[in-house]
Structure 1
Amino acid sequence: MMMKRKEFHELIPIKRAEQILKSIIRSSTEVVPIDLAYHRILADDVVAAIDVPRFDRADMDGYAVRAADTYTAREEDPVSLEIVDRIPAGAVSSLTISSGEAAEIGTGAMLPPGTDAVVMVEYTEQNGSSVSVQRAVHSWENVMRAGTDIRHGTKVLLRGTLLGSREIGVLAAVGISHVRVRSLTVGIISTGNELAPINEKLQPGQVYDVNAYTLCAAVHDCGATPVMYGIISDDPEKIAKALEKSISECDLILTSGSTSAGSGDIIPHILEEQGEVLAHGINIKPGKPMIIAKIGKPVIGLPGFPTSALSTFYYLIAPRIRDLLGCETTADSQRAVLGSHIQSAGRHQLLPVALVRGVAYPVYKSSGAITALASADGFIEILPEIEIMEAGESVEVTLFGERTTYDFVFAGMVCDEVISLTKMLPFRVRTIAMGAAAAIDAVQNGTADVASIPCMSKLPDDLSIVQRFQYGDTEYGFVVLRDRIDSEMIRTFLSISNSSRICEP
């Protein structure tokens, strides 16, 4: 069925989109065992139902005594006490210790009745059934009194506490095995007749569903729980049923695709029919087609292109999820310097970048290019009033999850033969596709170790072509800094490239 073209509503600014998302995305709660509660947020106060410790216990290995029996003890004139019991941790003495008696005791063991102190074993000497005490102790010395750590009825952890290893230890100490924590379940729906499951053969005109898996990983990265509902064809009835099911099971629903203003993009029509569209069109690139709606639960339609969907998620949605679940309010970020000149379109933009050794290189690929996801480590935000950014400017890179560090960086023209060569190297290699001028700059400033560029008549004096190879009709060369030719990594690179088919003998 051909649907009527749905034009964008007025593009709303980023701040307004953030306000809407903050107002509609809410967490729920669930009860989890404490071994699964790490880095979760408490939904309720935790009150101790017991004293910790529950009994007077020895803080040291030694002898439980009546303190008054030791007051005259000196190293040169020890006090002798009869050993009447031995109490390891976990045991309970059946005896009451009288004056002139002592009980050998282990750290953490319950003090026997009649005693009020522990003499450290270092200040004693055992003689058969008696012990010589060489140092006096005062009442409750080397003893942790019952309830001195945690008193029964005390609030030990407050609602909203982020549970780390120490907090989970407190829960275990007061005998709590399960806690109620905040949770946020995110349903993920991919729409489009062109999508195919990754385990099926592609038919003409089809592509594999990428967004379901990248968004699933990104939701995990924020501490939320993703639920994948698979691919739904561009059928209004099927999409409506998928939305109904996901809304009944999840706190937040993400769809990807079918949000643009084209006549084939039907998500906006369905959301208007079944709920309230709060925004359709965000003044940002990529992400203009994003739609925010509410059908009992928030439903957010992301762009269909993978890089657009992921960038928009990390910029607008991830901060709200992280805030609700107690993670850092924003995604991980890193300061860097720009590796090349950028000319913006005078529009709010999220530009994917590759981050290498503190330098951010723009990934100039269509937002529909899947390789842009693999090439990019994150994105930089370019405000609409900025039209030009120069190489060397300081920028903030919002990261797509965790980054890998690399031992060796290869810049310039990247073909299958070059990729095969880099895979043969015995270290972690990062390849960045870029033009010749940018690749030369990267080698000169130490960001890249080797550049692959078309052979030119003259190179800067500090660079040298160490090997040449033919690719198509063009002769290329591997370029390195002259003063690094003898470095171990460059020597290894040259040795392996010499043995490969890519380079001329």
Structure 2
Amino acid sequence: MSDRKEFRDLADPERAREGVASLDLSAGTERVPLEDARGRVLAERVDAGLDVPGFDRAAMDGYAVRAADTYGADSDPEVLPVVGSVHAGESPEVSLDEGEAAEISTGAVMPEGADAVVIVERTEEVEAGETDGDHPDREQDRRVRVETAVTPGENVMLAGADIAAGERALGPGTELTPREIGLLSALGVDEVPVRAKPRVAIVSTGDELVRPGGDLDHRAGQIYDVNSYAVATAVEEAGGEPVVYPHVGDDMAAMEETLVEAAADCDLVLTSGSTSASAVDVVYRVIEDRGELLLHGVAIKPGKPMLVGRIGGESGATGGESGGDEPGAAYVGLPGYPVSALTIFRTFVAPAIRSAVGLPEPRTARVDGEMAVGERTEEGRRRLLAVGLVEDADGRTLVYPVDKGSGATTTLTAADGVVDVPADTNALSAGDAVTVDLFSPDVRPPTLLGVGEDDPALSRLLDRLERPRYLARGSRGGLRELRDGLADVAVVAGPFDADGEGVADAAALGGWSREWGLVVPAGNPEGVSGLADLVDRDLSFVNRGTESGLRTSLSNALADLADERGVDRRDVTEAISGFDLAARAFESPARSVAAGDADAALGLRATATKLDLGFVPVGSQSVRVLANPERLEKASVRELDELLSDIGSVLDGLDGFETG
């Protein structure tokens, strides 16, 4: 009998949100140095402990005067003796008697006897007068003509005018930005009481995980641990303090030990992985034994396998000898796939962390657009569909799905936002109006959207453009998206029928040629001389996908070989061991050869050179950049056209690449 944990009664998203919000993530109050306070939230009111400024000071460069001595100066300028100078940061060494002035700098202390400042632009120094016998120490060799009248207090900031001692300076809940830091500095505050950041334990689970920098064994199904670092960054961005624990394998005892330890040290424990309905997934058992499981599964995609509960403390007192000794912590189990984990975190957990530290929800931005292509959804579950944006020639926003599946780490980095698809919707059609919740208000559509063949020369071209986006969906995919009006440009390799593909009116911007063939181990130990060896000998081979232009050129060459032999093409392809073993990217087959997993692979001479592998040439293939005819005037398309006119500089150093 299986002990499989099935998902039952999937919670609706609102219930899941309420469940996470009910967890107490508050971490109390702490005092931090002012230099570390940016972005933190005040926990208590701060009152001014002194007047700011603490003295009457000049607000402008000019001359300190007694205002009464300037009356009438607008029509009949007054000439006053200058008895000294006062500079910022020094105590005045002069005082003014009736009919005298002192030069003064902005921010300087007003000298005794002065009650106003005449700005320097309304004055003019005049010829020196005779020495004042009553005050031989004064600078009676200087005089100033005052050309405007001033009133008492004019161009003077009085003591306490900015903020007075005892006045409420900042209230609790204030987020400390550079403005608030400046005020606190002016008050002489060197540390402030702020809401403490909740400590968030991050535990990735799974026997297959290896920390980045470690050695992977692909044959054993090992993968790098993405979630520990991605989720830790998301926690920090939300205002929490991430604590990354070593990943834990699918072992009940090890899982329990790590989670209980994390619960004793942190306010929130986040796990990723081991939450789905599988016999080897043990996290939910630990939570049930050592805490309280509040929720298992949410009716949302991506992110169905989500757990919410508590671990340690009194709720876990029945789970072992020390069950009631730990302080306990809130617990959320994230799905294992990075896209699902980050989506669930962003949707449900980040708001709870921000609430605990007093940070407001981030500014949101929405963009209205229309679907460029259709997308089917799973009715019965709300879906957060990752999408990208592109603008057509008229500035209209087109929206397209970029969802490569929850297991693809590049989905969110290639997307601009999400479309919230209701549970009762089973499809979005091309042309449907949608609203996109952008990941950030700063998100902007790419300047250029290209789709098609992946190619090293193309990568160099894209490096010279500002903010392009390229979807490597193969030549067939590029032609399809160009035909459907999504792409600005398509990059196509090998032969194709423009009429048959529905792109007869596409504008050819330019292109290049590249040498293709068989990539083999260095030194070509099997002595591979051409395609016939793949057919006639027991050699393992790695191909490209059917969308790839390289695959099309290979298929055409094999068809020619079949004709020469008077056999059916299928007889030729079926004789090749691994012909149907397809890799997605242009370097992937060659890397299989480099790893010793294949005797030969479809690839480019440039790739073989880069990886220090052998190469058996088969042919040359053209690569063309085709533009959407309705977007030829788009600035980025024009810029790409200009770059293609000097393609030789782009191809420099790429082995097997030529212009034309």
* Structure 1 residue 11: Cα displacement: 0.9
The match for 2:111 is: 112
Name the counterpart of 1:389: 428
What is aligned with 2:460?
423
Aligned residue among 628, 642, 649 for 1:481: 628
Structure 2 residue 551 is matched with structure 1 residue 472: yes
- For the 8 Å contact 1:5–1:261, the answer to whether it is kept is yes
Alignment partner, residue 129 of structure 1: 142
Q: Does 1:221 align with 2:240?
A: no
Alignment of 1:366-377 (within 5 A): 366-377=405-416
Q: Residue 449 of structure 2 corresponds to which residue in structure 1?
A: 409
* Residue type at the aligned position of 1:382: V
Is the contact made by 2:389 and 2:398 (CA closer than 8 Å) also made in structure 1? yes
Asked if 1:249 corresponds to 2:290, the answer is: no
Other-structure match for 2:605: none
8 Å CA contact retained: 2:373, 2:484:
no
Q: What SS is found at the alignment partner of 1:253?
A: strand
- Is the Cα contact below 8 Å between 1:97 and 1:113 reproduced in 2? yes
Which whole-Å CA distance do the structure 1 matches of 2:491 and 2:202 have between them?
41
**Letter paired with 1:471:** L
* Pair 294,13 (structure 1): closer, same or farther in 2 beyond 3 Å: same
In 1, Cα distance between equivalents of 2:143 and 2:625? 84
Amino acid at match of 1:24: L
Once the two structures are superposed, residues 461-488 of structure 1 have per-residue CA deviations (whole angstroms, 9 ceiling, x without a partner) of 4225666984123578653235749944
Conservation of the 8 A alpha-carbon contact between 1:6 and 1:269: no
Q: From the superposition, tell whether residues 122 and 424 of structure 1 become closer, same or farther in structure 2 (CA, over 3 Å).
A: closer
Distance 1:11 1:233 in 2: 26
The one-character-per-residue Cα deviations of 1:194-234 (angstroms, maximum 9, x if unpaired) are 11111211232321111112212222333433221131222
Verify: 1:202 aligned to 2:234, yes or no.
no
Partner of 2:496: 455
Deviation at 1:279, TM superposition (A): 0.6
**Map of 1:353 onto structure 2:** 387
CA displacement 1:315-364 (0-9 Å, x = unmatched): 22223334444243476654443221011120211223333344332234
Two-structure CA RMSD over aligned residues (Å): 3.2
Distance in 1, Cα, partners of 2:89 & 2:449:
59
Q: Deviations over 1:136-194 (max 9, x none)?
A: 32222221111122111111211112222222222222222222223333221111111
Give the number of equivalent residue pairs.
500
Aligned AA for 1:351? L
Matched position secondary structure for 1:168: helix
Contact (CA 8 Å) 2:268, 2:330: kept in 1 or not?
yes
Matches within 5 A, 1:155-304: 155-182=168-195, 183-203=197-217, 204-295=220-311, 296-304=328-336
User: Cα 1:115–1:331, aligned 2, differ >3 Å: closer, same or farther?
Assistant: closer
More divergent stretch after superposition (36-45 vs 10-19) = 36-45
Does 54-63 or 122-131 show the bigger shift? 122-131
Aligned residue number for residue 152 of structure 1: 165
Q: 1:452·1:478 contact (CA, 8 Å) conserved in 2?
A: yes
Cα 1:25/1:420, change in 2 over 3 Å = farther
Q: For 1:172 and 1:310, how far apart are their aligned partners in 2?
A: 38
SS at match of 1:237: helix
Look up the equivalent residue of 2:551 and give its one-letter code: G
Structure 2, unaligned runs of 5 or more:
129-140, 312-327, 392-396, 515-548, 557-622
**C-alpha displacement of 1:266:** 0.7
- Residue matched to 1:492: 643
SS class of match (2:243): strand
Query: Shift of the alpha carbon at 1:68?
Result: 2.4
| 3-state SS in 2 of match to 1:422 | helix
Distance 2:251 2:370 in 1: 46
Partner of 2:14, secondary structure, is helix
Question: Which of 144-153 and 472-481 deviates more?
Answer: 472-481
CA deviation digits over 1:85-130, x for unaligned, max 9?
3210111124443223332221111112222222223333333234
* Distance of 1:72 and 1:342 partners within structure 2: 80
Counterparts in 2 of 1:433-444, with a 5 A limit?
433-434=472-473, 436=476, 439-442=479-482
The one of 349, 370, 378 equivalent to 1:317 is 349
Deviations 1:378-437, CA, capped at 9 Å, x for gaps: 43221111112112323333445665764433213x44xx25533344225422145857
Offset, 1:53: 1.1
How does the TM-score come out when normalised to structure 2? 0.68
Any conservation in 2 of the 1:306–1:373 contact (CA below 8 Å)? Answer: no
- 2:7 paired residue number: 8
Distance, in Å, in 1 between the alignment partners of 2:292 and 2:247 is 24
Structure 2 CA distance for partners of 1:77 and 1:293, relative to 1, 3 Å: closer
The one-letter code matched in structure 1 to 2:434 is: V
Please tell me whether the aligned partners of residues 71 and 137 of structure 1 are also in contact (alpha carbons under 8 angstroms). yes
Paired with 1:330 and 1:222, the residues of 2 have a C-alpha distance of 13
Alignment of 1:33-44 (within 5 A): 33-44=33-44
Moved more, 285-294 or 109-118: 109-118
Q: CA deviation at 1:491?
A: 5.0
1:293 corresponds to which letter in structure 2? G
- Tell me the CA shift for residue 372 of structure 1: 3.3
Question: Structure 1: which 5+ runs fail to align?
Answer: none
Call closer, same or farther: CA 1:434–1:391 in 2, change over 3 Å. farther
Change beyond 3 A, Cα 1:494–1:237: farther
Q: Which residue in the other structure is 2:617 paired with?
A: none
- Secondary structure of 2:101's match? strand
Distance 1:105-1:504 versus aligned 2 partners, 3 A rule? closer
1-structure distance, mates of 2:482, 2:237: 31
Structure 1 distance, partners of 2:229, 2:337, is 13
CA distance in 2, matches of 1:49, 1:201: 58
Q: Which amino acid aligns with 1:427?
A: L
